[in-house]
Amino acid sequence: MKIDFSEAKWHILFIILVLLLIYPLLFAVSTSFKTMEEAYSSSALIPAAPTFSAYERVFTTIHFVQILSNTFIIASIVTLFKLVTALFAAYAFVFFRFRWKTPLYFLLISTIFIPFTVTMIPNYMTLTKAGLIDNIYGVALPQLADATGIFLLRQYMKGIPSSLMEVAELDHVSHWMRLRTIVVPIIRPAILSIGIIFFINSWNDYVWPAIMIKSEANYTLSLALQMFVSSEGGTDIPVAMAVASLTMLLPLGLYAVCQKFIIGTFAQSGIK
């Protein structure tokens, strides 16, 4: 077999990059199966004596199921509401005619560029007044609508030929039914993959829950992880890595199942 060296050098570069990217992942998974002593003394990727003791400690030292369900509830609420509000808003921006439509849209899109840290404190103060501090619904509340979702769904809706909507208009179909029976089915793959991205982002969110949540019963997975590695938390690295491994299970699983949609959504546009 002939080797094309001009291509080979790129393959070598990419293989190195992939190894660099995957190494922390493999490190986390392998460390979670090590004893505490081995975790500190060896950096081998294969544990000398694999053990489940770190996982046992996860379930005995923290309320893992409670924390898992907190994370799941927040991510589900945030994803569902972001999608629904984005669907309605994008539909209005694409299919309604109203004054100041374009300026309003650009105003809305500009909020994407406001750093999280700017709104963090005002949101915190508001939620304190509302008595929603240390409450998982308080974490979800300021994230129920999102301009990124509106932007992405609007792009997909614009790909729907206007004649399809006009057929419905001539058939006296209400906007609600046009959204339900035409728009949503056509852009379903886009809705799915945008939803997955919302879900994973919320699942991995750390800073905002860290500000809002005080008691362990209301923790999310990323806060639980911090219990085992922070200065006040401790230094049980195998347990921390076990929590990390468990945290990435669901997003990875979701991606594995839906990768066809996700890749498709970002690779192609519209319905043709």
Partner 1 sequence: MYSIELKNVKKVFGKTEVIKGLDLSIQKGERLILLGSSGCGKSTLLRLISGLESITSGELFLNGELANSMAPGDRNIAMVFQNYALFPHMDVTRNISYGLRISHTPQDEISRRVGEAVRILNLGGLEHRLPRELSGGQRQRVALARALVKQSDFFLLDEPLSNLDAQLRGQARKELVKIHEIYHQTMVYVTHDQIEAMTIGQRIAVVHNGCIQMLDTPANVYHRPSNTFVARFIGSPSMNLFDARLDTGYMHLNGHEVRMTEGWSGKTALHGQPVEAGIRPEAIVLSAEPSEGAVPVSVQYHEDYGSRVGYYFTVNGKEVISIMPEDILNGCTQAFWKVDPKALHFFDAASGSNIGYPE
Give the footprint of partner 1 on this chain (CB under 8 A): 161, 163-164, 166-173, 177, 181-182, 185-186, 271
The owner of tokens 């362990």 is 216
- Least CB distance to partner 1 at residue 271 (A): 5
- Least CB distance to partner 1 at residue 100 (A): 18
Closest to 154 in 3D by CA, of 76, 101, 200: 101
Determine how many CB atoms are found less than 10 A away from the CB of residue 174: 9
Of the two residues 94 and 140, which places its CB atom closer to partner 1 in the complex? 94
- Least CB distance to partner 1 at residue 166 (A): 5
- Least CB distance to partner 1 at residue 174 (A): 8
Q: Which amino acid is present at 58?
A: V
DSSP reduced 3-state for 218: helix
SS (H, E, C) 117-166: HHHHHHHHHHHHHCCCCCCHHHHHHHHCCCHHHHHHHHHHHHCCCHHHHH
DSSP H/E element including 258: helix 237-267
Determine how many CB atoms are found less than 10 A away from the CB of residue 182: 16
Q: Which amino acid is present at 244?
A: A
Closest to 202 in 3D by CA, of 259, 143, 118: 143
Do the Cβ atoms of 129 and 241 come closer than 8 Å? no
Closest to 244 in 3D by CA, of 266, 222, 263: 222
Of the two residues 56 and 166, which places its CB atom closer to partner 1 in the complex? 166
Of the two residues 159 and 251, which places its CB atom closer to partner 1 in the complex? 159
Of the two residues 161 and 253, which places its CB atom closer to partner 1 in the complex? 161
- Least CB distance to partner 1 at residue 168 (A): 8
- Least CB distance to partner 1 at residue 196 (A): 21
Of the two residues 160 and 262, which places its CB atom closer to partner 1 in the complex? 160
Of the two residues 169 and 216, which places its CB atom closer to partner 1 in the complex? 169
- Least CB distance to partner 1 at residue 272 (A): 9
Of the two residues 235 and 268, which places its CB atom closer to partner 1 in the complex? 268
Do the Cβ atoms of 146 and 90 come closer than 8 Å? no
Q: What share of the chain is helix, strand, coil (3-state, %, to 5)?
A: 75, 0, 25
- Least CB distance to partner 1 at residue 269 (A): 14
Of the two residues 116 and 176, which places its CB atom closer to partner 1 in the complex? 176
